[in-house]
Chain A
């Protein structure tokens, strides 16, 4: 048997084995930490925001391979987006960018969406003036 079989597809395995943007941001402008009620995993996301745009993002995850890959991919995807764009971010984007996740593992990508939104909420709380740029409906759209 020379082939290596993997539980997840190549992209997911790559993000799991070589996660991008892993760690904390020393002077983060927003930090969010959420847990998955389904399995008990925890994800933390830190953002750097300049002029209403996310310039850097980092994650830390206590969770399965798919949760680690999802958080890695999510941080890649949101860099460069405006706060408003980021508030519309959906886990489906992560799933698509990863080339799909097993059905039972979709909730891991939801965790990434929620960690991001919690970090954005934290940013808005710390920078109330930024709230005016954000439609109120989007600001409260925390998860599902």
Chain B
């Protein structure tokens, strides 16, 4: 226990980012992620890092574009409305292959909405968000410990594949305190970045750009990106199965919702219902094969996607299950978070269980 400290999720990301070697942060204030920039404003100067509060999210993401292009580890964070503003920049960053971390501490939307926890930005994170043919690696922590661990992982994946990575969190994970053991700095891997715009000393020009005027060139570049994405799908998928071995019904849930579902699983077992949970830790890549496999298993009678939205991830669940078994949905939205009991009642209702 000695090295476990009680921390807010937002602070855990900030501390882990510095451990991962991030010394550049550009952002703009927004609730419920304010503890993250506040922490970095305090600690970056002590570690010779740059903390810059930009005039807007639009500026902040373009600072990330410039900074990441020079090869340093860089991040930004925001919450839903701010992430919307960042989409143009994210599209440029994806195309120009600039490694960086973007944290979204999701809140209730659309519009100004509210500051309560939500998962309504799944489509935006996983299906593009900005314009054009691209993907983000999307990591979904479900505890304060994972807020820290996935931050380190995100920087690694970003550098390894020269790609932007998003940490998709929510207001509860950002605000809650749990014990966390900070990742070990000595395990941080460093990557060569011969492509970075650091000044062309003894070499040809390096260029960070997203313009490909000739359609054939653009197509070739997009194919290059998608080859990379295929590698990521092959190598980097992570997920957790909980009480799935003998499950008759499998919930699919991520982030804070997965924890609520875990408690619902325990309650279900007490009532003799064989309920399991599949929790994607990467939302892209999505655990298609594991779900397909569960769908093919004799025990499993059906799936239920549980989300803090009106149903977004369920589309990926359906694509994975591919009609083999029924896929139902339960969700609360607008910042409302269901209790484990509410989840269980709805599972029972949807599958007519006693």
Judge: A and B partners, yes or no.
no
Residues of A that sit less than 8 Å from B by CB = none
B binding-site residues for A, Cβ under 8 Å: none
